[in-house]
Amino acid sequence: MFMKMNSAALGAALILLAGVANANAGLVSYSDFTSWSAAVPSKTSLAIPDPASGPYPGYDEFGSGTASVSYGGVLFETNIALGNGDFYNVGPTYEDSNGPLPVLSSQQQTVGVANILITLAAPVNAFALNFDTYDGVDDGTNYGAVVSFTLSNGQTLSKDSVGNVYDLQSFFGVVDDTPFKWVLLTTSDPVLSINALNFSAPVSAIPEPATWIMLILGFAGIGLMGGARLPARRARAS
C-alpha cells in the first residue's frame, strides 16, 4: 500500500494559516503519554477501530484526495488542496502491517503533502496521539520525517518521526491555555499514520473561521510539485 516519494521539493511545503499568529505562548508540549496524562486529569480516549469487513483484506479505503471518516464523534479528513494521496484504515491483519493496532493513514502522494485533519466535537485544552511516517530522521535522507501540527487557535509546532510506518512510536501531546477544536497534521513524507487519540473535557466554544478555507488560503503562493511514484505494490485488491 505504501510507497516512497522521489522528491525533495515537498520538504519545504509547510502549512501557513492566513492571518493567524503562530506564537506558542501558553502551549506546553509533552514527550510521552505518561507525562501528558499526569497534566490532564480528565480525558477521553479514542482508539481507531478495526477496519470493517469489506472488499479489501485488512484495511478500509475511504477515497483519494478529499476523503473522510468519523469515529466516536471525531471527524478525520484529508483534502485534495493539500495532497492527492489515498486515505486508509489499516488493521493489524493487513499483510504488510508492522503494528499491533489499527491506524488511519494518508499515503501515496504524488502531488502535495500527506495530511490528516482531526476535528473534535467541541473545543478542548489538551490533545494527544501516536503518529509516524514511512521514513525517520535517522535514515540520513529525511523524507519528510518531520511532522507539522497546526491547531485551530493558531499554534504550530513540529515533531520528529521515528519512521516506523504502522507501528506508531512517535508521540504528540499538548496542553494549551487557549482552546482549540481541530488539529492538522502534515508532512512531506508520503505516508502519515495516526492512532490512540486522547483529549481533555470540552471547554467553552470559541469563534473560528471555516477550517478548509483558512487552510487553502494559507497555501496561496506555495507551489506543490510531486515526484514520480516508485514501483510498489498497492493494497488494492486486484
The residue among 62 and 212 whose pLDDT is bigger is: 62
Residue 210 belongs to some domain of the structure: yes
Q: What is the mean pLDDT of the chain?
A: 80
pLDDT at position 56 is: 81
Please determine, for residue 79, whether its predicted confidence score (pLDDT) is greater than 90.
yes
Determine what percent of the chain falls in helix, strand and coil, rounding each to the nearest 5: 10, 40, 50
In a domain, 4, yes or no: no
Please check whether residue 168 lies inside any domain of the structure.
yes
What mean pLDDT comes out for the span 62-77?
97
Does residue 121 have a pLDDT over 80? Answer: yes
- Residue 18 belongs to some domain of the structure: yes
> What SS3 class is residue 168?
coil
pLDDT tens digits along 202-213: 997 655 555 555
Domain, as residue range, for 62: 9-218
Per-residue pLDDT tens over the stretch 4-58: 443 333 333 343 343 344 456 789 999 999 999 999 989 999 999 999 877 788 9
Asked, for residue 230, whether it belongs to a domain, the answer is no
pLDDT at 225 over 50: no
Does the residue 233 lie in any domain?
Answer: no
Domain count along the chain:
1
Q: CATH number for the domain including 170?
A: 2.60.120
Could you read off the pLDDT of 159-179 as tens digits, one per residue? Answer: 999 888 899 999 999 999 999
Q: Which of 44-48, 87-91, 232-236 has the lowest mean pLDDT?
A: 232-236
- Residue 129 CA to residue 69 CA, distance in Å, equals 17
pLDDT at residue 234 is higher than 80: no
Q: Is residue 226 part of a domain?
A: no
Q: What is the pTM of this model?
A: 0.79
- Confirm whether 237 is domain-assigned: no
**Mean pLDDT of the region 105-111:** 92
Q: Which one-letter DSSP state was computed for residue 49?
A: P
pLDDT at 118 over 60: yes
CA torsion, points 78, 236, 129, 24, in degrees to nearest 10? -30
C-alpha cell at 146: 518531520
pLDDT at 136: 73
Higher pLDDT among residues 222 and 133, named by residue: 133
